[in-house]
């Protein structure tokens, strides 16, 4: 079988939390030596893409920023191309929100057209209620990915899947989910 490129998961595949998976660096080095293109993919939208790029470099991977695709970047691209000009309330960490804003999305705190749900480790009851009220007024729910849990060094943390289902049930809506395994990620 001839491979034309690789899409490689990050969390739990090349590292788990802060721990490198044995053989991962050698695998990437062999791809580069053979001229086989690759991209690292992660559904983890708790940080901006730079965070994951920097983490890979610190761990010893020889990569460029263009080799990293996050569900947040894929969702930004979706919103810009499929929902241009829409006002967006981002449920996210400060660096994730800033990445969305810098990409040209109209990020707002009030009266959004879209509630943009990420894996937000800074989530508060206030953010949940703000999203709920916007959805009840007719805002569209777009989520960066569907994962229920995110791997850590020792176990798993709750991810955004349960929040998607909560908002869908409470607001009688259906989320557009961008990240893996949805082809919209690509």
Reported as a pLDDT band with limits 50, 70 and 90, residue 56 is very high
Res. 1: pLDDT tops 80: no
| Span 130-172, pLDDT tens digits | 999 999 999 999 999 999 998 777 888 999 999 999 999 999 9
Least confident of 15-19, 64-68, 100-104, 167-171: 15-19
Q: How many Cα neighbours within 13 Å face the side chain of 150?
A: 20
What is the structure's pLDDT at 2?
A: 75
- The CA-based diameter of the chain, rounded to the nearest angstrom, is 54
Question: How crowded is residue 177: how many other Cβ atoms within 10 Å of its Cβ?
Answer: 24
* DSSP calls for 109-134: SSS-SEEEE---TT--HHHHHHHHHH
User: Given a cut of 80, is residue 3 above it in pLDDT?
Assistant: no
What average pLDDT score do residues 106-118 get? Answer: 98
The third-level CATH classification (topology) of the domain covering 1-186 is Rossmann fold (3.40.50)
The predicted model gives 22-33 an average pLDDT of 94
pLDDT score recorded for residue 184:
87
The mean of the pLDDT values for the chain is: 94
pLDDT of residue 168: 98
Question: How confident is the model at residue 122, as a pLDDT?
Answer: 96
Q: Report the pLDDT value the prediction gives residue 60, as an integer from 0 to 100.
A: 95
> Would you list the domain boundaries of the chain?
1-186
Q: What are the backbone angles phi and psi of residue 16, rounded to the nearest 5°?
A: -130, 110
pLDDT on residue 142: 98
pTM over 0.85: yes
Confidence (pLDDT) at 149: 94
- Through-space distance between the first and last CA atoms of the chain, rounded to whole angstroms: 22
Q: Which residues contact 85 (CB under 8 A, 6 or more apart)?
A: 106
């Amino acid at each position: 079988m001839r491979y034309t490129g690789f899409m490689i998961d990050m969390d739990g595949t090349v590292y788990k939390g802060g721990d490198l998976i044995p053989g991962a660096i050698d695998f990437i080095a062999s791809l580069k030596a053979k001229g086989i293109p690759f991209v690292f993919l992660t559904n983890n939208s708790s940080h901006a893409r730079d965070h994951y790029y920097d983490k890979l470099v610190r761990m010893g991977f020889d990569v460029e920023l263009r080799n990293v695709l996050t569900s947040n970047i894929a969702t930004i691209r979706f919103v810009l191309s499929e929902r241009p000009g829409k006002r967006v309330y981002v449920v996210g960490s400060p660096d994730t929100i800033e990445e969305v804003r810098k990409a040209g999305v109209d990020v707002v705190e009030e009266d959004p057209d879209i509630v943009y749900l990420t894996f937000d480790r800074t989530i508060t009851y206030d953010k949940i209620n703000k999203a709920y009220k916007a959805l009840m007024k007719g805002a569209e729910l777009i989520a960066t990915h569907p994962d229920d849990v995110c791997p850590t060094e020792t176990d798993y943390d709750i991810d955004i899947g349960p929040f998607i289902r909560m908002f869908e049930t409470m607001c009688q809506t259906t989320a557009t989910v961008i990240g893996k395994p949805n082809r919209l990620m690509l």
